Structure 1
Amino acid sequence: MARHKKFDPDAALQAALDLFWRRGYETTSLEDLTEHLGIGRASLYATFGSKHELYLKALERYLRTRAPDPVELLSQPGPVLPAVRALVKRYAEEAACDRQRRGCMIVNAAMERMPDDTQVARVVESAWDTLEVALAAALTRARAQGELAADKDPRALARFLLVVLQGLRVMGKGHPNPERLRDAIEQALILLE
């Protein structure tokens, strides 16, 4: 007879995400995980696999549950540049207002695990590629709609904005200077005019 789990795997995965996001991979021990998730080691392994597998699942959950999703925001019908500007400003606001200094879990994973952890690198690169493609598609639409000058390169601008957005996430890990963030995004947004 199969035994039934006495815990909610979805809630446990969310708890693991929260712990990894706050503490990082290396400083989170199996003991920390079992205590925080409220499950035994055998249950953790049976449900999620290794600590590394659980970390990968937490990263994937993080990507699935971001709100609002940048891709959705950039793919809305209508004028494009206001959505791009709103996205850049949102990243800056999140960096400035993150009192816990958790930053972005994807950026945290990149800084902590890359380049040696190829599985995490694939998740991070995929997330960055997805955002870059969404930005490039949005900026291509903006150019076609006459919002962006015809001589602007949507792909190059998308790559630039991706780097700026990830830089804002890195700045958010420390004690970001709001004026520094404001000046940086103002300069980035000038390129969209």
Structure 2
Amino acid sequence: MARTREFDIDQAVDRAMALFWGRGYTATSLQDLTAELGIGSGSLYAAFGSKEQLYARALERYCSRNAGALIAELESATDMRSALRAALTAMAEADLDDPERGCFLVNAATERSADPATVDRVSATLRLVESAIAGALERAKARGELPAGKDAAGLARFLTTFIQGLRVMGKARADRAFLESAVSNALTALD
């Protein structure tokens, strides 16, 4: 008879996500994971298959939560410029609060750029963000918040790229004035 799992899978993924996010994939050992999750290696393998599969689930969780929150914010926004400024400022604040940790998506893209599954997850998430921004900009255009001649798809691509650059600059320890200036300048693209 198989043993009953004695730990919460969602909580384990959240704890693994925090560990991978803070240390990276390579610097996180199996021993680190089992200690953090409070389980043996056999339980980890039975539940997740491997360290790599657990990392994939942790990255998926991060992408789902963070991109999902941004998408929801953009979908409900009645003032696009304010919503974008708030979202970009929140990202900058997160990096000012903990620059070493940075953005898990950026960390994954840079550390695991040779791993096709990681690249696919990062790319899919960035496409979702870009699509959500484009949709929000189209709605803003329809409300008259954005000039009719603006290319919503092109602006969305620019802003998605800017977000990743902003997160890299945060990890590079850019100061508040730099990040605030960058956000303000990026938003001039909406004029």
Q: TM-score range by the shorter chain?
A: over 0.9
1:80 matched to 2:80? The reply is yes
Unaligned runs of 5+ in 1: none
Q: 1:135 matched to which residue of 2? A: 133
- Aligned residue runs from structure 1 range 168-183, under 5 A: 168-183=166-181
Q: Which secondary structure state, in structure 2, belongs to the residue aligned with residue 131 of structure 1?
A: helix
Q: 1:120 matched to which residue of 2? A: 118
Q: Which secondary structure state, in structure 2, belongs to the residue aligned with residue 66 of structure 1?
A: helix
CA RMSD of aligned residues (A): 1.6
Q: Residues of 2 paired with 1:141 and 1:68: CA distance? A: 18
Q: Residues of 2 paired with 1:180 and 1:3: CA distance? A: 54
**1:11-38: per-residue Cα shift (whole Å, max 9, x none)?**
2111111100000001111111111111
Q: 1:165 matched to which residue of 2? A: 163
Give how far 1:98 is off. 2.2
**1:39-59: per-residue Cα shift (whole Å, max 9, x none)?**
111100000111110000001
Q: 2:98 matched to which residue of 1? A: 98
The answer to whether the 8 A contact 2:67-2:129 is kept is no
Give how far 1:82 is off. 2.1
Aligned length: 191
Q: Residues of 2 paired with 1:51 and 1:187: CA distance? A: 41
The answer to whether the 8 A contact 1:71-1:134 is kept is yes
Give how far 1:180 is off. 1.2
Give how far 1:9 is off. 1.9
The answer to whether the 8 A contact 1:81-1:139 is kept is no
Q: 2:110 matched to which residue of 1? A: 111
The answer to whether the 8 A contact 1:95-1:176 is kept is no
Q: Flag as ranges the 4+ runs of structure 1 deviating above 3 A.
A: none
Q: Which secondary structure state, in structure 2, belongs to the residue aligned with residue 75 of structure 1?
A: helix
Give how far 1:95 is off. 2.2
The answer to whether the 8 A contact 2:106-2:168 is kept is yes
- Aligned residue runs from structure 1 range 145-156, under 5 A: 145-156=143-154
1:49 matched to 2:49? The reply is yes
Q: Residues of 1 paired with 2:80 and 2:139: CA distance? A: 7
The answer to whether the 8 A contact 1:20-1:28 is kept is yes
Q: Which secondary structure state, in structure 2, belongs to the residue aligned with residue 5 of structure 1?
A: coil
Q: Residues of 2 paired with 1:187 and 1:178: CA distance? A: 14
Give how far 1:68 is off. 7.4
The answer to whether the 8 A contact 2:71-2:129 is kept is yes
**Identity within the alignment, %:** 47
Give how far 1:162 is off. 0.7
Q: Residues of 2 paired with 1:187 and 1:55: CA distance? A: 35
Give how far 1:164 is off. 1.1
The answer to whether the 8 A contact 2:67-2:128 is kept is no
**1:153-184: per-residue Cα shift (whole Å, max 9, x none)?**
11111111111111111122232211111111
**TM score, norm. by length of structure 2:** 0.94
Q: 1:36 matched to which residue of 2? A: 36
Unaligned runs of 5+ in 2: none
